[in-house]
Structure 1
Amino acid sequence: MAASRAWLVRGRVPGRTTEQRAAAARALLSIRALLQPSGAVAAAWVDAWKYSWPRDSSAVVTALAATGHTDDAYRILAYNARTQRSDGTWDARTKLDGSGPPDDREWQLDANGWVPWSVWQWYQAAGDDRQLAALYPMVRKATRYVVNALDDEGLPPPGPDYWEMPSTATTIGTAAPLLSGLRASADLARRSGHTADADAWQAAGDRLADGIRRHFAPLGYPRTADGRHGRDSAIAFLAPPFNQPPPDLAAALDSTHAALARPGGGISPGDDAAQHWPNAWTPSTATLALAF
Structure 2
Amino acid sequence: MTRTAVAPAREAARAMPDPGRAGAARPRRRRWTGWAVAAVVYAVVATWSVHLKATESTEAFIDLYLDGVHLQADGAVADVQARRPATYLPGSRVLAADADDPAAQALAREQRDWLAAGTLPGAGTRYEGLVESALLDIRTLTGAAFEDERGTLRSAPGAAVAGWTDRWRYVWPRDASFVAAALARTGHPEDAVAVLGFVRDVQTDDGGFQARYLADASGVPDSRGVQLDGNGWVLWSAATVLDTIEDPVARRAALTELRPLVDRSVDHLLVLTDTAPHLPPPSSDYWEVREDDLTLGTVAPLLAGLEHAATLYDDAGEPRRAAAAAERAAQLRTAVEETFRPDGYTRYAGDAGPMTTLLGGNGRDAATAMLLPPFTTPLPGAEEAWLASVDEMARPAGGVAPGAGWKRDGISWTPETTLYALVAASSGHHELAAAWLDWVSAHRTGSGAIPEKVLANGAPAAVAPLSWSSANVVLAVAALEDAGAL
Q: Structure 2 CA distance, aligned partners of 1:138 and 1:12?
A: 27
Give the distance between the partners of 1:74 and 1:239, measured in 2 at CA: 25
One-letter code aligned to 2:375: F
Q: 1:263 to 1:17 in 2, by over 3 A?
A: farther
Matched, 1:194 2:318: yes
Given that residues 38 and 98 in structure 1 are in contact (C-alpha distance below 8 angstroms), is that contact kept between their aligned partners in structure 2?
A: no
* Per-residue deviation, 1:137: 2.0
- What corresponds to 2:12 in structure 1? none
| Structure 1: runs of 5 or more not aligned | none
Q: Which residue does 1:118 correspond to in 2?
A: 237
Q: 2:395 aligns with which of 257, 262, 268?
A: 262
Q: Which moved more, 1:196-205 or 1:239-248?
A: 239-248
Deviation at 1:277, TM superposition (A): 6.0
Q: Deviations over 1:174-200 (max 9, x none)?
A: 111101110111111112222111111
Could you tell me how far apart the structure 2 residues matched to 1:290 and 1:45 are? 24
- Quote the sequence identity (%): 39
More strand by share: 2
Query: Normalized against structure 1, the TM-score is what?
Result: 0.95
Assess if the C-alpha contact under 8 Å between 1:52 and 1:95 holds in 2: yes
The residue aligned with 2:419 is 287
Alpha-carbon distance between aligned partners in 2 of 1:56 and 1:134, rounded to the nearest angstrom: 20
Match of 1:229 in 2: 362
Q: Given that residues 35 and 42 in structure 1 are in contact (C-alpha distance below 8 angstroms), is that contact kept between their aligned partners in structure 2?
A: yes
- Pair 1:243-2:362 in alignment: no
CA shift at 1:278, angstroms?
4.0
Q: In structure 1, what residue type is equivalent to 2:369?
A: A
**Alpha-carbon distance change, 277 to 53 in structure 1, aligned in 2, over 3 angstroms:** farther
Q: What is the match of residue 114 of structure 2?
A: 7
Equivalent position amino acid for 1:226 in 2: G
> Counterparts of 2:283 and 2:210 in 1: how far apart (Å)?
14
Distance 1:114 1:277, change over 3 A: farther
State the match for 1:72 in structure 2.
Answer: 191
The corresponding residue for 1:84 is 203
**Match for 2:136: what amino acid?**
L
Q: How does 1:1-292 map to 2 (within 5 A)?
A: 1-15=108-122, 18-36=125-143, 38-127=157-246, 128-150=251-273, 151-227=275-351, 229-272=362-405, 278-292=410-424
- Gaps of at least 5 residues in structure 2 are 1-107, 144-155, 352-360, 425-486
SS of equivalent residue, structure 1 residue 262:
coil
Shift of 1:164: 1.1
Q: Matches of 1:100 and 1:157 in 2, distance apart?
A: 24
CA 1:196/1:44 → structure 2, altered by over 3 Å: closer, same or farther?
A: same
C-alpha displacement at 1:250, in angstroms? 2.4
Please state how far the C-alpha of 1:126 moved relative to its aligned partner: 1.8
Mean Cα deviation higher: 130-139 or 208-217? 130-139
Q: Is the 8 A contact 2:396 2:410 kept in 1?
A: no
Moved over 3 A (4+): 275-278
- Give the whole-Å Cα distance in 2 for the aligned partners of 1:182 and 1:47: 33
Give me the CA root mean square deviation: 1.6
Distance 1:244 1:17 in 2: 31
TM-score w.r.t. the length of structure 2 is 0.58
Contact 1:268 1:277 in 2 (8 A): no
The aligned amino acid for 2:157 is: S
Mapped partners of 1:283, 1:18: distance in 2 = 23
Aligned residue pair count:
291
CA distance in 2, matches of 1:53, 1:276: 26
Return the index of the structure with the highest Cα Rg: 2
1:16: how far off?
Answer: 6.3
CA deviation string 1:75-103 (max 9, x = no partner): 11111111111110112111111111111
Cα distance between partner residues in 1 of 2:219 and 2:408: 31
Contact kept, 8 Å, 2:283 with 2:292, in 1: the verdict is yes
Supply the distance in 1 between the matched residues of 2:415 and 2:118 (Cα, whole angstroms): 24
Q: Greater RCO between the two (CA within 8 Å, min separation 6)?
A: 2
